Chain A
């Protein structure tokens, strides 16, 4: 019989820092993430875009971007398996601990390396391709630092679990219970506190990433166009949208003016010279 899930934590004292980091911060992160997304969706539809740079360069992008994105999708799936599905379930399904870990390392390792390779290539492309670098904002740079850090630390935890000790650290006894406990508002702080430093670092970086998420170009992930699979090809829309929505035409005209779309954030008329000397 394996140790109960809470036991590793009981050996470690819970400090005030642990409470802040693993008991408070996750909820702050969720509030910022959800609130930020709602706010951004409401007020910045025009800025909600992938801001693709394929027009400038596509040779590297064609390799790097799918590598990164598909890798990331696999990584997300891996996180789901590792964090959400309890260890007891996989064992009940007859999956041994060694087999699970081998699988997680193999698939997770490949996905992680692919993602890291993808983003490194993307960053290299962004830095070396003149037009792409010109179109990079400070916001983008910050985002890249946090995103890359989260991936690197994540890969470190994976590698660490291979090379540290006999079987490495079993995060399904520490991080995963903590993660699940967050959803029932009874954070298992002791379990998380017992996890090694590398997992702490990765978790913190992940939370940082989610905090800045709504305020970066990453928001495009939240409008992934799955509805494309189901919508009709040809979209008709009335010039008079509000009327269609209300189903009435009786309201006073001036009551509707507040609903008139805002002016777009297009650049000012005229193209300013892109003078690199004065930048």
Chain B
């Protein structure tokens, strides 16, 4: 047993209102640079829908993730090492910009600069790729709120599959049946196929917290990771020629702050915390034959942080005490393994994803309410979950590799909690039969309710800090990006865009400090260096430094020596 710590996230989809605040704040924080216009580390998809990039879940086409070969051995779906290297000159399966969308801006200048005329000037959309006029035909959330689903709805790979399985008996009634939002970030998998696909070995998993990162210095732009990731959450920065991905906001997490997407989530649907897992068991768990058993295998990899044996092993592996403690208080562990209401996204990709989802009950509740039933009644809800095969099967394709029973069990737990707590709110005695119907006791159900409904900031985000003795590694983070006009900021450096070596902040700070220490006067005195602060000048006289010093009389007539500047 090799115990390792992993930062994980759980999203409660019932609470997502599809406001895209997470996407926008993430973009502002991480991908508001040239070359990353189309890059959404966090995006919110409307389901049913095609997702971003379009139809990324169609692994027959995109070959993402892992598969089992004839001998039951885990191999990359896109091919082994030799095949990968042979295909390196033109990646055989690779999304193009048209599978994402062509980013654009508007020609706002004409609004101001247009000459006087009879017509109102318009701001035309301009492509950020070609700089030319463009027609906007798609975007990161073009099918938001089921927009265009009557035309494009059948293109959702899961709709396709569910329909095929039900032999076309179901017509396209999805948009009348249910809709929910699916926010997606990088899954920070335990068995990441992007990492396995990287020829350069530039993608790595951090030992301390399991966050998957791309070493921007080691990445050579072979772009195999884009193919490898079945979630298509690695993006190619077309300006720098390097792969970029969600960083789990590691600079924030290291100091105990939640990720930007979690922090700004309006619905407070995200939970952050630690998992302890057995790193030696990961490959075995990912190699389980039946895809529907991958969920159980993944559960077995996660270790119980309250188990003294696990704790002892964690200590032996050098996991700090406060991290073990954080793992015990972890809300994500509770939701995933204790209450078993959080499910991994597409376990059938065999990557052991570490961002989990509580499937949404609201489509069922809404439907009951719309039909005039009591949407809070346990009996009604249980019956409806059983009756509503379409949404359940759809959710099963997303979260359990098609195992509808598992999704049903989770939805019933959520329904039971809803019904159980309504009874309490109405002043009735707790109805113990409701939790029992879903295999829980009243106390556990109440605790689950506390965590899911009213948990405060500190309970939703249990993030142990990176250790003080490691703090020197964090020094550069605060000011690493905001050095406007500094070296390396130029758009096109001698060796291609954004090449060259920027001055490390540490060097600049060192120079500034040395200047101050060796200048021989008190700090603050010399900041103007002989210049004049015009804000303090009242207009009378000419303070020293306002004009350049005049040369001494007599030498003025003499011509400047050759090679000397006047």
Judge if B33 is at the interface, Cβ distance under 8 Å: yes
A265 with B240, Cβ < 8 A, contacts A137-B492, A234-B191 known = yes
Min C-beta distance of B298 to chain A, whole Å: 16
Chain B 211-238, CB-CB to A under 8 Å as 1, else 0, gives: 0000011111111000000000000111
B residues 120-161 near A (Cβ < 8 Å) are 126-132
Chain A 251-264, CB within 8 Å of chain B: the 1/0 string? 00110111011111
Q: Which of chain A's residues has its CB closest to B205's CB?
A: A236
Contacts of B347 in A (CB 8 A): none
- On whether the beta carbons of B488 and A45 are closer than 8 Å, the reply is no
* CB closest chain-A residue, reference B477: A260
Interface residues of A in 25-77 (CB under 8 A from B): 40, 43-58, 61-63, 65-66, 68-70
Confirm or deny: A229 has a beta carbon within 8 angstroms of a beta carbon on chain B.
yes
- Report which of A56, A66, A270, A276 forms a contact with B132, defined as CB distance below 8 A: A276
Chain A positions 200 through 227: 1 when the CB is less than 8 Å from some CB of chain B, otherwise 0: 0000000000000001110010010111
Chain A residues near B200: list those with CB within 8 A: 223, 225, 228
Q: Please judge, given known A-B contacts A134-B130, A239-B207, whether A234 and B196 are in contact too, CB under 8 Å.
A: yes
Residue of B nearest to A234 (CB): B195
- Asked whether, in the complex, the Cβ of A54 is within 8 Å of the Cβ of B473, the reply is no
B208: interface (CB < 8 Å): yes
Chain A residue at minimum C-beta to C-beta distance from B502: A263
Interface residues of A in 115-167 (CB under 8 A from B): 130-131, 134-135, 137, 139-140
Question: Chain B contact residues: over half helix, strand or loop, or mixed?
Answer: loop
Asked, given contacts A234-B195, A262-B504, whether A139 binds B495 with beta carbons under 8 Å apart, the answer is yes
Q: How far is the CB of B26 from chain A (nearest CB, A)?
A: 14
Docked CA distance A237–B241 (Å): 23
Chain A residues closer than 8 Å to B491, beta-carbon distance: 267, 272
B463 beta carbon closer than 8 Å to chain A: no
A interface residue numbers (CB < 8 A to B)? 40, 43-58, 61-63, 65-66, 68-70, 130-131, 134-135, 137, 139-140, 215-217, 220, 223, 225-229, 231, 233-240, 242-243, 249, 253-254, 256-258, 260-276, 279
In the A-B complex, the 9 residue pairs with the closest CB atoms: A47-B499, A274-B131, A225-B199, A233-B196, A45-B217, A49-B241, A51-B241, A49-B221, A267-B34
Q: A239-B473, A274-B127 are in contact. List 7 more A-B contacts (CB 8 A).
A: A46-B498, A140-B496, A256-B472, A261-B504, A271-B33, A271-B37, A273-B105
Q: Enumerate 8 A-B pairs (CB-CB under 8 Å) in ascending A order.
A: A56-B129, A137-B497, A216-B495, A228-B85, A235-B205, A265-B501, A267-B498, A274-B130
Question: Contact residues of B with A, CB < 8 Å?
Answer: 32-35, 37, 81-82, 84-85, 88-92, 94, 96-97, 103, 105, 107, 126-132, 191-192, 195-196, 198-201, 203-209, 216-223, 236-242, 254, 282, 466, 469-473, 475-476, 480-484, 486, 488-489, 491-507
